Each structure stands twice: as structure tokens, then as C-alpha cells.
Amino acid sequence: MVYSGDPILAEDLLFKPEHSLIEQSLHSRMGATTTNGDGFGIGWYGEGPKPAVFKSVDPAWNDENLRELTAQVRTRLMFAHVRASTGTPVQRSNCHPFRHDDWLWMHNGAVFGFHELKRDLMFAIDPSLYPDVEGSTDSEALFFLALTFGLREDPVGGVARAIGFVEDLAERRGMSNPVQATMAASDGRSVWAFRYSSQHQSRTLFHSTNVAQLRDLHPEVEMLRTLGDETRFVVSEPIRDLPGAWVEVPESSCGIIQPGDDEIRPFEPIRPTHVA
């Protein structure tokens, strides 16, 4: 889940919606797995120049520290993730979101064949960035590949080149359809959310609609009165069953939450050029 808007208590985002992310960690309706109990993490932008992160290998539904913390943290931009491991160890460094300088990153999905591709993928990470890789997941590898290929200067292009590199490497190794991904990245000012898979059958991703219009449609929903007009959510599955509140992000698309008008644009990987 991504939240962007006026500062709000984190517990209002994580615990209070009827189908909150904490509820989804136990009873996901649209995810690849029903239960996501292999750890969790939140990342948020607050008073300092860099985002803070809080991660644990405990299930999100059973962590008292998470409840204590989110009752006091107020944020204008937050990432939250519950994890179901696709094969890498259950450890704090493998929990999302991942952080580098002022950037946050999280990923739902998998790089299929990661075990076989891992050596070449990790060697492709810029040497100046490699020491900052803390865990062993495909998700963190994608993050550092995106940083290597220009995420900070050109977020959409950096991710497109990272995904293109993975697909090209897998193809040369005789592997098909290696990428399944919904991803989000932020520099604290804007958010980029991606929905893409090599098979073009990606996991679900939704964005919220105009809050002011929703207030008019649903004056009975108290929560809407606490949200600013610029509020935006990006979620894997809706956190509240509210007609008109959610729009599915199109397949092979990137949504951008930014100052001014938000936008959704087509997304296609950029393959590397090989010299004969």
C-alpha cells in the first residue's frame, strides 16, 4: 500500500479500514497467497530528509510494536508491505520496503529463476551501490538494478531498463516469462507505481479516485472527511468496499503521483543493446 496526502496517523491507514493491510495479511482476497505472514515493513517520510523504516519478521497482525508505533507516527507519504516469501529466507533484511538514500521501493511478485540468474543480476549492480545491498531477495536486486540503470534521474526509464535486463538475461539462459511485478518507488516528492509481467498477466493493482467526489457520493463515510483533496492510495487490493473508490491500473502501465496532475502511461521494458 502507498499513501500520499495530508499528514495522517499511520494507524488510520494500516488498522482502521475494513479490509486494511493488516487484515489482508491474514485474509487476502486477491493476492497470490491468502496469508502473508513472513514479515512486514513500513517506510515513511517525516521530519528528516530521508525516510524512516520499521520492519520485522513477525506477522503484521501479531506485532504489538507496530500498533504502538503507528499510533504516534503521522506522515504525508507512507509505504506498507506484508510479505509472503517466494523462497528467500524470512529475515528482516528481506522485508520491504527497501531504502537507499531518500528512495523507497517495494515489490509484489517474483523474478522466476532468480536462483539461477542471481549471480549475473548482482554483478550488474553498480559497484558503488553493491555494498548497500542488505538482503538476498529478487525484489531488492530489482531495486538496485533500477538504481544502477538510472532510477534517480529517470524513474520510469530506470525501471524499464532493469526489467529489460532481467528479461534479456533470462531469454539468453533459455528461461521464459521471468518477471511478475507490481512495484512502487518514491523519492519523497513523487510516487511511481508499476504493473507489469512478462506474460502480461500481472497481479492486481488499484489507485484511488478523487476524494472530493467520493465525499459527495458517500457523505456517510467519516474517514473521507479526514482526507485531503490531494489524497492518493495505491493498493494491491481495495482496503474498503466503497463503490466508485477504486480504479484498476491497466496492464503494462506506470502511474505517477506528482505535484500537479497525476498521470498513467504505458510501460514497456527496455532491453540492453548487445554489440556483435
Q: What is the pLDDT of residues 15-60, one digit of tens each?
A: 988 888 888 888 888 877 788 888 999 999 998 889 999 999 999 9
CB of 81 within 8 A of CB of 106? yes
Q: At 82, list the grid cell.
A: 506484508
- E strands within 10-100? 40-45, 52-56, 74-82, 98-100
Q: Report DSSP state, residue 58.
A: S
Q: At 225, list the grid cell.
A: 472527511
Query: How confident is the model at residue 276, as a pLDDT?
Result: 58
Query: How confident is the model at residue 36, as a pLDDT?
Result: 82
CA 197 vs CA 27, 61, 109, 194, 204: distances in Å: 24, 29, 9, 10, 11
Helix, strand or coil, per DSSP, at residue 203: coil
Neighbour tally for 171: CB within 10 Å: 14
In CATH, the number for domain 2-266 is 3.60.20.10
Query: How confident is the model at residue 259, as a pLDDT?
Result: 84
Query: How confident is the model at residue 275, as a pLDDT?
Result: 62
Nearby residues of 207 by Cβ (< 8 Å), 6 or more positions away: 193, 232, 233, 234, 235, 246, 247, 249, 255
Q: What does DSSP say about strands 232-235 and 206-208: parallel, antiparallel, or unpaired?
A: antiparallel
Is the bond preceding residue 269 a cis peptide, omega within 30 degrees? no
Residue 207: what are its φ and ψ, rounded to 5°?
-125, 155
Query: How confident is the model at residue 33, as a pLDDT?
Result: 78
Cα–Cα distance, 104 to 52 (Å, whole number): 9
Ranges under pLDDT 70 in the chain: 275-276
